[in-house]
Structures are given as structure tokens and as C-alpha cells.
Amino acid sequence: MREIKVDVCVIGGGSGGLSFAAGAAQMGAKVVLLEGHKMGGDCLNYGCVPSKALLAAGHRAHAMAQNGFGVTGGAVTTDYAAAKDHVAATIATIEPHDSQERFEGLGVEVIREFGRFIAHDTVQAGDEATIKARRFVISTGSRPFVPPIPGAADTPYHTNETIFDLRERPEHLIVIGAGPIGLEMAQAHRRLGCEVTVLEGAKALGKDDPELAAIALENLRAEGINIVEGAQVAEVSGTEGDIQVSTADGTTYAGTHLLMAVGRQVNIEKLDLHCAGVESTRAGVTVDASLRSVTNRKVYAIGDVAGGLQFTHVAGYHAGVIVRQILMGLPAKASNDHIPWATYIDPEMSQIGLTEVQAREKYGDKLTVVRAEFSGNDRAIATGQTTGMIKVMVVKGRPVGAGIVGPQAGELIQVWALAIANRLKMSGISAMVAPYPTLGEINKRAAGAYFTPKLFDSVWVKRIVGLVQKL
């Protein structure tokens, strides 16, 4: 077994680990990267990339079936296996960017083994090598959480790690969980010709702004997706093609296929963290604001395994935070205040910062909430995409949160991500000139809505205008 000494050992070849390894190697550090499964991690192989590819297929089918603008739609023939071919082709196109060969070309030593700690400063990579490093970066990500539902062990089910390999279209897909993953897959499959039932034990899209979530859920139900809230699953049973799901109220739902989409659990079991004195919980490695282990200062954790928001772009952001510390010796802390996220159903949903409920709890009557409807946006009217709205939470002239439900919400939220990250005021958004007609004008309209009462309802403004007109 080889003995390797490096500056940094990165455990996990997902988004965060790859981002850090690439940056560190190109800046001159000696880096070894351990990955025992697929390069690119969950996002490339089972998450963001394949889900958006399947959603795109569903969107195409839905658009072709619609009547409007002088075009007659109609019955659409969908080929589920061909849609999965598109998913596979999408992954294959992006795959080289995350490949072992590319990272070796950047100067990273890549070892295709899982890593586990055997001492506070040593990791063993399978039977291939032991690695001593000055610093370790844990970026092992997460996997689907499957709750201990009675009957689950004996009933065939899918998770996001297997659903994209399914080649035969489900006649009736039952989805347990109405969060982003569950609803994205529900809409994609509905638009590709499946019956879909979604069972949620609490509230669908429960982590999102209720006002915005209600708009999205109404649209999903209008497409024929049966979303049942407050449906605590008590038991599952059956075989592939004949699935039964019973809920606590005694109702039984029958389908042909089952998808578990109830959350994530971090991948830390194989790491033997106790051997390195690294404290952890079920949420992940216990880290401080700098993403450094509180019990072993040689160890950092980024992405899902750091115990915070579980998004690919967060892992990439975390990589930048620790690059500054490990490579440049500069202090840096991670924050969630400026992190946006999106759910890619139709209409899309996006959020950054505080929701209205959170902002009211924190700021009380100091909070101003402004709204703008897509029905008042000329581009949305022209393209028939008027469902949705934006709402912005403002305190002392600065946005502290924004939420959007509507077309291209994931793109439109980026203006507010810029504003919040750089502590811009609403006046900065209002001063922006957006090309006409664009959906982006809705951001400027929301900023204008903040100033409207200050300008048009102000007695002092009217007095000043009246005085100027007399000069």
C-alpha cells in the first residue's frame, strides 16, 4: 500500500470537492482526491442534471399539446424511453467536465476509492494508499432518505438514484413527498403521460412562502396531479406494477410504481470520523462558521455534509470559502443569507433570504412587503405566461428576502441575489434600466412598488411639486 503526503486530501468528487480540488491544484497545492463511486456526485448523475433534462422533455410535450396564438395543439405521442435517452445524453455531455482525466490534467491525483480516517491526520483509500495531509476536506454529499415505513423493505420503490434508469413509462406513479424533488418528478411524469399521485404528510412545498406555493400547487393540480396533503403514510405493499400505499386515515392509494422523495441524509457512515476525533451528528460534520471541524482543526466540511442548505451551488460556494482559508491563509466565513434556490416546476419557484413569515418574525413593523404580478408584465402577456408574482421583503430600504413564482423564476431571482449579497438598496434596482419587453422588468416593477407610496402618497412631495410649478 502506498503512502502519500499532500497538502490537501479531498474526500468526495461531487460539486464541492471538485471545485475545491481544481482551484487548489491550479494555485499550486498538492492535492489528492478520493472518489469511490461516480465523479460528479449526485448532482450530475442522479439530481440536478437528469431531473432538468427529464423536465425539459415533459415541458416539450406539454407545450405541443396546448392550443393558443393561432396554433392548434392536440394529442402528443411521448416516448418515455427516448426521454430517458435524452437524460443519459445530457449526463454524458457534461460528464467530461467532471471526469478523472480532466482533474488529473489539472494536477490533481485522483484515487477511485472511498476514504476513511485512521488517525487525526491520516486517511486510508481502500487498499490502495494511506494519505497524510496538512488539511482534509470532506465533501461526501448526501443520498435519498428512505423512512422506516412498514412494508418498504419488501416493496419495490424508486429514489432519485434509480428513477432515471427506468425505461418503461409508469402507468401510475405514486410519489411520497411533496418537496422540490417529489413535485419536479411528479410534473415531469405527468406531462410524459403518467397518472401521478403525490402524498405529503404535512404541507406541500412546506419550506416555501405559502402565498407563492399556493399558486404553484394550483397549477400542478390543474394539470391533473393529485396532491394529497396531511397524508401520513402508514404502510406500503405490492409488487412492481401493483403498488398500494396506505395512509394513517385508512385511505389506500393504488399505483404501478413508487417514488420515495422525502428528504436527504448525509454520507458520513464510511468515514470513521471518530478515528480522527471529528464530531458529527445526523445532520453532518459539526463545523464552525468557517466550515472547519470544531474538534479537529485539520478537517473542513463543505456542501451537504456541512449540515446546512443542501444545494449544488452551496457546495460550490463553500469551496470558495475554504479556498481562501486553506490556500491563502485568509479568514472567511460562510453565510446562508445570500443563497438563492429554485424549484423547477412550471411555474418555477425561487427564493432568497427571508420569506415574509420569517421577515415579520425578525423585523416586525419595520418590514415592508412589495408585490408585482406577472399579469402586469407585457412580455408575460405576449407569451401567455401571466401566472405568478414576485414579492420582496424590505427593511429600511434594503431587500432582506425575495420570492418568485412564475416563468424563469430561477433566472429572475439572480437580481435579488446580487442585491442581497452586496447590500444594495431598492433604489439600486429601481435605477436599473431593463430592456423592453422582458420578464426581467418585473424586478424593476417590484422596486418601483416600494417607492410608489413614498412618492405619490406623500404630502411633502406634492407640496414640493406644487411649489416648483409656481416658479
| Residue 460, pLDDT score | 64
Q: pLDDT tens-digit profile of 297-307?
A: 999 999 999 99
pLDDT at 84 over 80: yes
Q: pLDDT tens-digit profile of 165-181?
A: 999 999 999 999 999 99
Q: pLDDT tens-digit profile of 27-41?
A: 999 999 999 999 999
**Confidence tier at 459 by pLDDT (50, 70, 90):** low
The backbone torsions φ and ψ at residue 403, rounded to the nearest 5 degrees and listed phi first, read -135, 140
Give yes or no for a contact between 451 and 426, defined as CB atoms under 8 angstroms apart: yes
Paired sense of beta strands 367-373 and 389-395, if any: antiparallel
Write down the residue that cell numbers 402524498 correspond to.
199
DSSP assignments along 99-143, one per residue: -HHHHHHTT-EEE-S-EEEEETTEEEETTTEEEEEEEEEE---EE
Cell numbers found for residue 198: 403525490
For residues 326 and 320, what is the distance between their CA atoms, to the nearest angstrom? Answer: 10
pTM: predicted TM-score of the whole model, two decimal places: 0.94
pLDDT at 458 over 90: no
* DSSP state for residue 148 in the 8-state scheme: -
DSSP assignments along 335-368, one per residue: -STT-EEEE-SSSEEEEEE--HHHHHHHHGGGEE
| Residue 457, pLDDT score | 62
Q: How many beta carbons lie within 10 A of that of residue 456, not counting itself?
A: 9
| Residue 408, pLDDT score | 98
Report the candidate in 293, 298, 374 with the shortest Cα–Cα distance to residue 136: 298
Give yes or no for a contact between 447 and 419, defined as CB atoms under 8 angstroms apart: no
Section 362-378 average pLDDT = 97
Cell numbers found for residue 112: 477511485
- Which percentage of the chain shows pLDDT scores above 70? 97
Q: pLDDT tens-digit profile of 36-65?
A: 999 999 999 999 999 999 999 999 999 999
Give yes or no for a contact between 375 and 384, defined as CB atoms under 8 angstroms apart: no
> CA 431, 433, 436 angle in degrees (round to 5)?
145
Q: How many beta carbons lie within 10 A of that of residue 200, not counting itself?
A: 24
| Residue 469, pLDDT score | 75
End-to-end CA distance of the chain, in Å? 90
Angle, helices 180-191 vs 48-65, to 10°: value is: 40
The backbone torsions φ and ψ at residue 244, rounded to the nearest 5 degrees and listed phi first, read -125, 135
Give yes or no for a contact between 117 and 123, defined as CB atoms under 8 angstroms apart: yes
pLDDT at 471 over 80: no
Cell numbers found for residue 259: 417514488
